[in-house]
Amino acid sequence: MKENKKYLISFLEMMFMIAIIICIFKFIVIPVKIEGNSMESTLHNESVALINKIGVKEENIHRFDVVVVYSDTLNEKIIKRVIGMPGDHIEFKNDVLYINGRMTQQDFLDKNFIIESKILYNASQFTEDFSADVGEGQYFVMGDNRLRSTDSRVLGTFSIDDIIGTEGIVIFPFNQIQIIG
């Protein structure tokens, strides 16, 4: 009898832990496998990250945040960086970002990676010239590897409802553990 009770308690403890783990991964964090090179040199292909799912509200999304958005066009989750906020006018001229007519630094970009990429892909610019208006309630997102990113330049802008996570931590591979912010 004691043996059966011991097994029952162990089983219930295990079920409780499974329920907690399911709740964490359903309501708090999103596991994301980075696929492709669109966020190089910030995030790397095949890396695994846990992204914060709670707190995705307009007031918590800031320019240059890394976010996970759901793309209806691609029918998948993609990870990108917020460049344009609601109501912004975005313009790139000669690899320089202008937001609402003001030159804006992109300190998160690795300058050596930009130079190497331009040489590798025989490109004169890392970000081709374009301009875009971001509608109210919309966000313009881009990958950090502008030469290899499918982002708002192709997919259009995203609403707050499309953003399913922001910030997080790369957990694999272990030698690349880093905070994503």
Kindly write down the DSSP assignment for every residue of 88-145, as one continuous string.
-EEEEETTEEEETTEEE--TTS-HHHHHHHHHHTT-S-SS--EEEEPPTTEEEEE-SS
Give pLDDT tens digits for 115-140.
Answer: 999 999 999 999 999 999 999 999 99
- Active-site pick, 47, 53, 80, 117: 80
User: What is the pLDDT, as a whole number, of residue 135?
Assistant: 96
Q: Domains of the chain: which residue ranges? A: 29-171
Is residue 53 flagged as an active site residue?
A: no
Kind of pairing between the strands at 96-99 and 89-93: antiparallel
The pLDDT, as a whole number, for residue 117 is 94
| Predicted local confidence at residue 26, as pLDDT | 73
Q: For residues 99 and 90, is the Cβ–Cβ distance under 8 A?
A: yes
Best CA proximity match to 47, nearest among 25, 32, 61, 58: 32
Q: What is the pLDDT of residue 8?
A: 79
pTM metric for this prediction: 0.85
Q: Candidates 3.40.50.2300, 3.90.330.10, 2.10.109.10, 2.40.50.140; correct CATH number of 29-171?
A: 2.10.109.10
Residues of the chain with pLDDT under 70: 1
Q: Is 33 part of the annotated catalytic residue set? A: no
pLDDT of residue 102: 96
Phi-psi sector, 75: left (phi>0), alpha (psi -120 to 50), beta:
left
- The Cα 48–Cα 136 span in angstroms is 32
